[in-house]
Structure 1
Amino acid sequence: MSAEGPSRSAPGVTASGREVVAAAMAGAAAAWVRSLMPEQLAVAQRGSPLTPGAEAERLKWFYTPTDHGGLAIRDQTPHQESLAMQLVASGLSKAGFATVATVMGLENILDQVEGWQVGWGRRRGRDPGLYWLRLFGRPGDPVWAWRFGGHHISLNNLVVAGRVVSTTPCFVGADPAETELLGGSLRPLHGLEHAARQLVSSLGARQRRRALLHERAVSDIVSGNRATVAHGDTMMHMQDLWRGQFADRRLADLVDDIDRRAEEGSGYTERDHAALAISIPPKGIGARDLDADQRADLRRLLALYTGRAPERLADAYAVHYAAASVLDEVHFGWAGGTEAGEPHYYRVQGPNVLIEYDNTQRGANHAHSVWRDLTSDFGLDVLAEHRARSAH
């Protein structure tokens, strides 16, 4: 069982809280399903996570502008779109939903940044309507799940026995990371970046040497879109982050070029990637070696990720990480520059939590962030227990 999250029996968590969130999800999902035409439902819904074929599909997740699987927002009526977004909102805090909705809208800005030229094999390459929603099983079943994703968004939720047991992997990115507005700027992930920079800037020389993972930033998160993360995993390259291979040679060349430029920008070799590989035990400086103010900064950083979850679950995470013994096992690591505008990467890792953030591409104006549970992404451990009980 996870010792670092409210999926089951973490400190501060009540079963009723997980049940309330699950009931809201089931109600929103059922309303969306009732609104769909048969041909839409055939695309939107797959079998239970207990069936091998559906489970194999559920474990596929992406953050690139590829087909994430399910019914796209643009292929729904306005009423259906509203119901779909109500389901998405049921799996997020108010602030989390606002962030996700903002990132979806960034596709319009990115289209302009790229001169309206990037196609990705479809009529509109950057499309705020290309976010896909898919159910696995039926809302209210003993085991059911739902997934929502598109470019820079991936939300994955599992409900077992009427309780939310997993909300990870949870990916949110932003491109551009910062956009000029009249009288200000739009920075959806600024808090994640500012809080981590504040922590690394507070470290003394000896602490910083322990926290430093590499002098240069890696060009992407290291865990990629793997279903599970393991010791020794190195950064996945762009070519492996898509659903299948491109039949169009032009698109394959485009992805190759993006990856090549990203690698040239980071200056990483295979040796550098190995140095930044996921490791168990974690790299970086442990919370037990931080002072009281720095530990508070680390808790605030954790809360910016766990705070994506619905408030009942997010509050439980906050209570959990308030325990000194839990925080002691969490490590913080940094790679790259520490000044605003410099390419950088950071990692927060404990026995059950993995957080990664990078802002390196497009002149350090293209950010990725992911929150994962190393022992229960997709609720795989809970499903294993469920299968074992059902077999007897």
Structure 2
Amino acid sequence: MVSDSVPDAVNRAREQAAAAMASAATAWLSSLDNDQSSLAAWASPRDPAAETERLRWFYTPTDHGGLAIRDQSAHQQGLAMQLVASGLSTEGFATVAMVMGLENILDQLEGWRSSLGRQRGRDPGLYWLRLFGSPGDRVWAWRFGGHHISLNNVIIAGRVIATTPCFIGADPARTELLGGSLRPLQGVEDAAHELVRTLRTDQFQRALLHPSVVSDIVSGNRPQVCHGDTMIHMQNLWRKPFADPALDELVNDIDRQAEAGSGYTEADHARVAITVPPNGINARNLDEEQRRLLRRLLGRYTGRAPREIAAIHDANLDSVLDEVHFAWAGSTGEGEPHYYRVQGPGILVEYHQSQRNGNHAHSVWRDLRSDFGLNELASPH
């Protein structure tokens, strides 16, 4: 909440991050012509129609809403990416940039045949940037998204208030290079495997949600996550239905195959549903080394944010770690299909890897109390 009771150091950190975002956003907006501005600049979150659009977010290769990178000049693209970078740590920005570039590799893997109803189905230029309100407004926000990326930031009274939902995926999750490999989500995958390998049999049984992996993250692209939420099927993760019946059937078929592969029934989906309080093993039931590994795993998610914002999240995690739960579904073998969830006060992270024979990963960082800054926006202050 934006409040004078917040420590001065925290307010200064939020203000510093907001100033960097405002500077980058102003420069980008100033470079746009009228037609581009109509796509890029929308009304403040205080406007009901704009707010409805702001809360719609995606991680599929659908229209995310805004001005696409490919529809900007080279100069404008550079300014757009400066705004994106202002909302991320150096490491976070590098990860996002790599994920965007993976669209070229994915296009090749699919034989250059994917269309998705557009000129090029896998297009690294189809990432959209949109502002809601303007820098200098008391309340403004910005969103950047495309296939496997969704970044959402809210600024109130000159302070960054929310940086979630923050989604980063990777397809392929592992790409062989000359003399090595590229794994954009290596940090959040390996840190979880390191933790789960330390669990004793009784601890793992507490952590286990299901012996088989669910076919996607469970929270999906909901604006808010609530108790009892179950996985959203692929057909419902797009901005609108496909006009081409063949594409519509393709998405249905992919979902059917994924469900058949998981073997899940409605009862299975209910078993891995989001719950409040959380399922899984409580950090209180972990030893000190396991708690350190859990804390490091969470830091790989909060570390996506700008350094000064990540430090705020990290300090909060230290104070609530005893309420955090770690949960797992699927195999614990390296490179095999699996899903995990870490949930506690103010944080939910999910990681899923089963599609494309275990070489397609989704990860998301959320705040059950205030995704999109909704808690603070509802405050009378």
Short-chain TM bin: over 0.9
For residue 283 of structure 1, give the secondary structure of its aligned residue in structure 2.
coil
What is the CA-CA distance between 1:8 and the residue it aligns to? 9.6
What is the CA-CA distance between 1:316 and the residue it aligns to? 2.2
Q: Could you give the per-residue CA deviations for residues 178-219 of structure 1, whole angstroms, max 9, x where no partner exists? A: 001000000000111110011111000110000001000101
The residue identity in structure 1 corresponding to 2:273 is A
Aligned partner of 1:368 among 351, 362, 380: 362
* Mapped pair 1:318 → 2:314: yes
Q: Distance between the aligned counterparts of 2:313 and 2:62, measured in 1?
A: 32
Q: Distance between the aligned counterparts of 1:226 and 1:320, measured in 2?
A: 24
Q: Which residue of 1 aligns with 2:104?
A: 108
Q: Which residue of 1 aligns with 2:254?
A: 258
Aligned partner of 2:286 among 286, 290, 302: 290
* Mapped pair 1:24 → 2:20: yes
Q: Which residue of 1 aligns with 2:179?
A: 183
| Native 8 Å contact 1:262 1:361 kept in 2 | yes
Q: Distance between the aligned counterparts of 1:257 and 1:118, measured in 2?
A: 15
1:204-243 mapped onto 2 (5 Å cutoff): 204-243=200-239
Q: Distance between the aligned counterparts of 1:40 and 1:284, measured in 2?
A: 47
For residue 235 of structure 1, give the secondary structure of its aligned residue in structure 2.
coil
The residue identity in structure 2 corresponding to 1:359 is Q
* Mapped pair 1:84 → 2:80: yes
Q: Which residue of 1 aligns with 2:33?
A: 37
Q: Distance between the aligned counterparts of 1:88 and 1:13, measured in 2?
A: 24
Q: Which residue of 2 aligns with 1:333?
A: 327
For residue 99 of structure 2, give the secondary structure of its aligned residue in structure 1.
helix
Identity of aligned residues (%): 67
Q: Distance between the aligned counterparts of 2:6 and 2:352, measured in 1?
A: 29
Q: Distance between the aligned counterparts of 1:301 and 1:361, measured in 2?
A: 22
What is the CA-CA distance between 1:320 and the residue it aligns to? 2.7
Aligned residues: 381
Q: Which residue of 2 aligns with 1:381?
A: 375
Q: Could you give the per-residue CA deviations for residues 322-378 of structure 1, whole angstroms, max 9, x where no partner exists? A: 33xx10000000000001121000000002211000000000000000000000000
For residue 33 of structure 1, give the secondary structure of its aligned residue in structure 2.
helix
Aligned partner of 1:359 among 353, 360, 367: 353
Gaps of 5+ in 1: none
Q: Distance between the aligned counterparts of 1:379 and 1:108, measured in 2?
A: 34
The residue identity in structure 2 corresponding to 1:347 is R
For residue 320 of structure 1, give the secondary structure of its aligned residue in structure 2.
helix
What is the CA-CA distance between 1:244 and the residue it aligns to? 1.3
* Mapped pair 1:142 → 2:138: yes
1:87-166 mapped onto 2 (5 Å cutoff): 87-166=83-162
For residue 371 of structure 1, give the secondary structure of its aligned residue in structure 2.
strand
The residue identity in structure 2 corresponding to 1:358 is H
What is the CA-CA distance between 1:11 and the residue it aligns to? 7.9
What is the CA-CA distance between 1:16 and the residue it aligns to? 0.5
The residue identity in structure 1 corresponding to 2:148 is H
Name the Cα RMSD after superposition: 1.4
For residue 328 of structure 1, give the secondary structure of its aligned residue in structure 2.
helix
TM-score, scaled to structure 2: 0.98
